[in-house]
Amino acid sequence: MTVKAETWPPQTEQVSDLVARLQQIVGSHHVIANAQDMAAYLSEPRDLFIGKALCVVLPGTTLEVAAVLKLCFETSVSIVPQGGNTGLVGGQIPDATGRQILLSLRRMTKLREIDLSSNTMIVEAGMTLAKVQEEAHAVERLFPLSLASEGSCTIGGNLATNAGGTAVLAYGNARDLVLGLEVVLADGRILHNLSKLKKDNTGYDLKHIFMGSEGTLGIITAACLKLFPMLASIETAFVGLASPQKAIDLLALVQRNAGDKLKTFELIPRIGLDFVLAHSEGPRDPLAQKHQWYVLIELGSQQLEGLRDSFLSLLESASEKAILEDASIATSLVQRQAFWALRERLSDVQKLEGGSIKHDVSVPISAIPAFLEEVETALQKAMPGARLCAFGHVGDGNIHCNVSQPLSADMAVDKARFLARWDEVNEIVHAIVIKYHGSISAEHGIGVLKRNLLVEVKDPVALAVMRAVKQALDPAGILNPGKVL
Ligand SMILES: Cc1cc2nc3c(=O)[nH]c(=O)nc-3n(C[C@H](O)[C@H](O)[C@H](O)COP(=O)(O)OP(=O)(O)OC[C@H]3O[C@@H](n4cnc5c(N)ncnc54)[C@H](O)[C@@H]3O)c2cc1C
């Protein structure tokens, strides 16, 4: 049976034939075809993207994934891969046609191997990031990728989006933590590349083509991940300072003195802290006075002793140089968690302040202060009272440059008016990003959300190369069509 686009919609018997063949491959319990049971897969938690699907298929093995893809290739049916469904750009949600199959990797959760001498671990794509971290911890190793969504997102999704998070500064993005991949190609062939090798210069490094491709070039079914030594001591400080420039000065000082002990350096604006304190029970202002800006710094060491003392003297030196205004190092695990909660709640609380227009951007670290100043000036000109809540992984140049609606007497009514200006606000922020040679998507990807924008900002030759790669690996265009390119 071939369900070609021009013969769409297929006859009912064609669809039921396809579903029956999928059931033969993965077992009848693992194909969901009724609307009610499919619903949880067809929208993401923020309900910004809602789609339809022919059915949801949950394979349990790589061979089953391969058989599903072969069938889809032969019948020209499109596939949308999905892991934990936490993506923020709509890449994991099918379109509204109801013609696509959603392929969920959630059943593929096996730990295939741990090799302590090689410091590697082979896991299947559907294992959650939190479980990957736990498995590493169980053998006294560290898998450092860390995101607020780690309880739900899967390692396959992390690699497909080349996720970032709070440990990039020390360990790199998701792609830096991988030695090999197993990938099912669009026609059902399996690319066996679960290499443990650090050194392998035998031509193109194919794994990097699939990481960050958001399910448009192949289905990642397993990965060989790098493991790191556990940290024997961790110290976490909450620091108050006057400006983003002071934060950059402090970053340079800490990098110079602490070297690779620096694990996290996160920027938090006062307005963000105010949002968290206003909308959460429990958290308190972490420092005695209010400051315009804060950074959350974490140092880690494989030595048990000495880290706290060296961190203290580092912060004292920063204070003497008038780089920071105040600082507190957590004295207990509870206090460390309280510091982190202030950072982690920043994304959630913005929606309690009315409409919020988001930007996940990066600029060179040295440009961050000027970038933020220009964004603030341009926003106030276009929309007086707009509240810029810019925070994030400043040590990676990655700012979540979010804009909350102005305060007003009727926030609910004004929210719609504010959100109607989403594109205009995006244009303001992205123009300044481009001016500073930054990126319009630092870590969340392109998906559907930024697909049109990509064409405007990406180098035309780079776009042509991307299209050539897509054409070579997915000539029928069945892998996550309408995403990225
Ligand atoms: C609260 C919260 C905090 C977040 N923080 C961060 C952060 O700090 N840094 C960051 O980078 N992201 C962050 N994200 C975004 C998201 O968690 C990441 O993009 C994550 O890597 C997605 O994993 P997932 O398993 O949920 O993938 P999904 O959302 O299911 O899919 C994401 C994309 O990958 C594709 N895909 C999924 N699995 C596979 C596979 N096995 N093979 C091929 N393609 C596949 C999908 O088609 C889709 O295009 C956050 C999200 C939330 C909700």
Q: Quickly state the pLDDT bin for 2 (edges 50, 70, 90).
A: very low
- Indicate whether 253 pLDDT > 80: yes
- Indicate whether 415 pLDDT > 70: yes
Phi and psi at 401, nearest 5°, equal -95, 75
Could you write out the DSSP letters of every residue in 383-397?
STT-EEEEEB-GGGT
Q: Can you give the pTM of this predicted structure? A: 0.93
Residue 158 Cα to ligand 1 midpoint, Å, equals 5
- Indicate whether 24 pLDDT > 60: yes
pLDDT for residue 6: 47
Give, for ligand 1, the residue of 161, 173, 265, 398 to mutate: max count of ligand atoms closer than 8 Å to Cβ: 161
pLDDT for residue 282: 82
pLDDT for residue 11: 61
How much is the average pLDDT of 333-348? 93
Query: 261-300 burial, b if ≥16 CB within 10 A, otherwise e?
Result: bbbbbbbbbebbbbbbbeeeeeeeebbeeebebbbbbbbb
pLDDT for residue 265: 96
Give, for ligand 1, the residue of 79, 132, 149 to mutate: max count of ligand atoms closer than 8 Å to Cβ: 149
Q: Quickly state the pLDDT bin for 281 (edges 50, 70, 90).
A: confident
Helices (H), 321-421: 333-344, 346-349, 368-382, 411-419
Q: Are 63 and 124 in contact (CB under 8 A)?
A: no
Which residue's alpha carbon is at the smallest distance from atom 19 of ligand 1?
A: 87
What is the Cα–Cα distance from 254 to 265, expressed in whole angstroms? 10
- Indicate whether 238 pLDDT > 50: yes
Q: In what order do the strands lie in the sheet with 31-32?
A: 31-32, 55-57, 101-104, 79-82
How much is the average pLDDT of 428-442? 96
Q: Which residues line ligand 1 (CB under 6 A)?
A: 80-88, 91-92, 105, 125, 147-149, 153-154, 156-158, 160-161, 163-165, 214-215, 219-220, 347, 443-444, 447, 480, 483
Q: Quickly state the pLDDT bin for 5 (edges 50, 70, 90).
A: very low
Q: What percent of the chain has pLDDT over 90?
A: 92
- The crossing angle, in degrees rounded to 10, of helices 368-382 and 422-435 is 150
Tally the C-alpha atoms within 13 A of residue 366's C-alpha that lie toward its C-beta.
1
How much is the average pLDDT of 258-263? 95
